[in-house]
Amino acid sequence: MEFHKTRRQQFLGESYYTAVLRSCDDGVEAVGLLLKAAVAEGDIRYAHGRARVLAETRFDRLTLRYTAGEPIEPLRSELEQVIAAYERYGELLWSFRKDRNEMVFEFDVIDDYCQLRIPRDGGHDSTLMADSVPP
């Protein structure tokens, strides 16, 4: 795969993609083990937190792979894993909070919003910023 031709976002570099994907894979494995142990011990408080981290990491992995230009079809099974992870998180959250109205997936909380700021004065200097609020 020629990464620079298939990616869906021009500012995603191949080395960054590879490193973050590896980090997500490691995180899913490590947090999955912590979650399993917490559930086995009956520690719902800790388990619901680990379940959230696991669901968010799976979601981050999916969006990263999509952004990198991977074909949609293989990502469908990964989407099912993301949904299952959020469903598990929801059950643990609701059990811990005793409130089924707690939001599980907050669409307004997606951390990796980036914007490119280009000077209006015609300068060539541009800055890539991570920012959750548009200018």
Positions of E strands within 88-130: 114-117, 127-130
Neighbour-count burial of 39, counting CB atoms closer than 10 A to its CB (0-12 exposed, 13-18 middle, 19+ buried): middle
Please report, rounded to a whole number, the percentage of residues in the chain having pLDDT higher than 70. Answer: 78
Q: What is the 3-state secondary structure (H, E, C) of 3-39?
A: HHHHCCCCCCCHHHHHHHHHHHHHHHHHHHHHHHHHH
Whether the model pTM is above 0.75: yes
Q: pLDDT value at position 11?
A: 84
Across residues 12-41, what is the average pLDDT?
96
Rounded distance, CA 17 to CA 15, Å? 5
Mean pLDDT of 44-49: 97
